[in-house]
Amino acid sequence: MRAITIDKEYGNLSEMLQNLRITDRPLRELKDNEILVKMEGAPCNPSDIAFLRGMYQIKKDFPAVPGFEGSGIIIGCGKSLDQSALTGKRISCFIQDNDDGTWAEYFIAKADNCLLLRDDFPKNEAPVFFINPFTAYGLFQTALDKGGRTIVLNAAAGQVGGFIRQFAKEAGIKVINIVRRPQHVEKLKQEGETLVLNMRDKNFRQDALKMFNEYQPETGFDAVAGEHTSFLLEIMPRYAEIVVYGGLSGNPLSVDVLKLIFESKRISGFNLGDWIRQTGRQKLEEISDKLQQMFIDGILRTRIQKTITFDEIQQGLYQYLTKMSDGKVIIRAE
């Protein structure tokens, strides 16, 4: 089969792009609980870029096939699975616990890492159904559990941010949106958001302090990390919690420990794989049914900026890296 591969980790982005290759790889034998999927689409996510650069917890043997998320049609099953019931079904998957990646004509996944999609689920949403929607859902449950009426969201122009805003709208929870570009401020305001801050504005700190004092957000969702996390922690109210789910800044956290000790503030991390295991299969399928219906009804929608073939991988990933907020780039085998 044809697959996109890389021979090692490359910290330099340019070198990483230049060393992506299309190679022929044999398919290994299926284990009992695995399925073979003919790939229909696979996105590039920030976690994929982090893996390719050696900046991610997940490690694979090289040469490796990247891709933690994807969709396709089941064409084979391991011995412990009901082949007649599963063959021909469309699935979305999230795979991080084996050496197989989704950027290939065919990929192998554990059945427990896949979700069956309804026949009326939008086909273009299938490749990106797992990571962002379930990350947003899992994060938002943190806010619901805490019981606050306002949350903070940085990288708010991103896809996870958009999903969280929709969940917050349905729950009657206010969102303070933090972005990095003037056009993102305008875009969110056109969508009806009233609490929007640009972290690159010269008055950002003063404006943020004023807004936080007024709305008292109890939960913050942080995809940036670095010094920005420290600032959020400083101005959030007593007992507030920041949930870190990304590190777009590339910098380590810098935190005033006195805020943690004397104001009972918290910083926690969110990892989708751990959340899935803690949620359990039955509950995960219930959430999947709910989210699928929201996509079918048009309540949720993923921004997709481009679809590329294997031969366009270098140009396609370059576009994604330079315009991440414009939407996903989807890789297709054909």
Is 278 contained in some domain? no
Q: In terms of domains, do 118 and 136 share one?
A: no
Q: Where in the sequence is the domain holding 254, given as residue range(s)? A: 132-270
Q: What is the mean pLDDT of the chain?
A: 95
Is 275 contained in some domain? no
26: exposed, middle or buried (C-beta count within 10 Å: 0-12, 13-18, 19+)?
exposed
Residue from 14, 21, 9 nearest 58 by CA: 9
Q: In terms of domains, do 65 and 124 share one?
A: yes
Q: Assign 249 a pLDDT band (cuts: 50, 70, 90).
A: confident
Asked if residue 329 lies in contact with residue 308, where contact means CB atoms within 8 angstroms, the answer is yes
Q: In terms of domains, do 201 and 190 share one?
A: yes
Measured distance CA(209)–CA(12) in Å, rounded: 37
Q: In terms of domains, do 113 and 125 share one?
A: yes
> What is the tens place of the pLDDT at every residue in 24-70?
999 999 999 999 999 999 999 999 999 999 988 888 999 999 999 99
> At which residue do the structure tokens 């959020």 appear?
232
Q: In this structure, what CATH number is given to the domain that contains residue 265?
A: 3.40.50.720
Q: In terms of domains, do 179 and 297 share one?
A: no
Last residue of one domain, picked from the residues 270, 303, 318: 270
Q: In terms of domains, do 175 and 93 share one?
A: no
Q: In terms of domains, do 215 and 322 share one?
A: no
Share of the chain above pLDDT 70, in %: 99
Q: What is the pTM of this model?
A: 0.95
> What is the tens place of the pLDDT at every residue in 131-162?
999 999 999 999 999 888 999 999 999 999 99
Last residue of one domain, picked from the residues 236, 270, 304: 270
pLDDT at 98: 66
Is 100 contained in some domain? yes
Q: In terms of domains, do 152 and 255 share one?
A: yes
Number of structural domains found in the chain: 2
Residue from 120, 173, 160, 302 nearest 245 by CA: 160
Last residue of one domain, picked from the residues 235, 270, 305: 270
pLDDT at 300: 98
- Position 284 pLDDT exceeds 90: yes
> What is the tens place of the pLDDT at every residue in 61-113?
999 999 999 999 999 999 999 989 999 999 999 998 667 899 999 999 999 99
Is 43 contained in some domain? yes
In this prediction, residues 14-18 reach a mean pLDDT of: 96
In this prediction, residues 14-24 reach a mean pLDDT of: 96
